[in-house]
Amino acid sequence: MNKNKILAACVLTGALLTAPSAQAEGYFSTFGSKVSQGLGNMAFGFVEIPKNIINISDEQNIFVGMTWGLLRGAAHGVGRTLVGATEFISAPIPTGEFAAPAYVWDRFSEDSRYFGLHYPGYWTTYGPLDDGE
């Protein structure tokens, strides 16, 4: 009987010790991902300008790409930089994805979306929307 109590205590202790480490591992993985996404988006948000010029030029023509793509890219660049700062500051808080794609160079031909929003219309009609697939 004493042997069974010791075995049960060992199993219970092992279960209690491994459960928080699995949660902590997930938390630190999410924390590291948010920090890297925040830094990457703050540093390279300006890449939205050539991204939008290229994508809109491919869909329309070079004139539309150099005008509308430039304006749209500048707006997305500011947005991505601000979202990057928000991701970096809020990294300790577990939240959902702030920007999709996570980095400006991921799925380059896809429109950038923020906080899971995708507004229909001309503002976001360029590039496929594969939601990370």
Q: Residue 7 has which token pair?
A: 């075995």
Q: Note whether residue 12 is domain-resident.
A: no
Q: Note whether residue 102 is domain-resident.
A: yes
Q: Note whether residue 116 is domain-resident.
A: yes
Q: Note whether residue 25 is domain-resident.
A: no
Q: Note whether residue 20 is domain-resident.
A: no
pLDDT above 60 for 107: yes
Q: What pTM does this model have?
A: 0.66
Domain count across the chain: 1
pLDDT above 90 for 117: no
Show the domain range for 93: 33-124
Q: Note whether residue 17 is domain-resident.
A: no
Query: b/e for 11-47, b at 16 or more Cβ within 10 A?
Result: eeeeeeeeeeeeeeeeeeeeeeebeebbebbbebbbb
Report residue 53 CA to chain centroid gap: 22
Question: Distances in Å between the alpha carbon of 112 and those of 6, 39, 115?
Answer: 57, 17, 10
Percent of the chain at pLDDT > 90 equals: 32
**Cross-strand pairs, 113:** 100
Q: Note whether residue 132 is domain-resident.
A: no
Question: Distances in Å between the alpha carbon of 96 and those of 8, 55, 58, 61?
Answer: 38, 27, 32, 36
Q: What is the pLDDT of residues 2-34, one digit of tens each?
A: 766 675 665 555 544 554 544 556 666 778 888
What is the rounded distance in angstroms from the CA atom of residue 1 to the CA atom of residue 9? 13
Q: What is the pLDDT of residues 73-105, one digit of tens each?
A: 999 999 999 999 999 998 888 787 788 888 888
How many Å is the Cα radius of gyration of the chain? 22
pLDDT attached to residue 104: 85
Q: Are 111 and 65 in contact (CB under 8 A)?
A: no
Q: Note whether residue 5 is domain-resident.
A: no
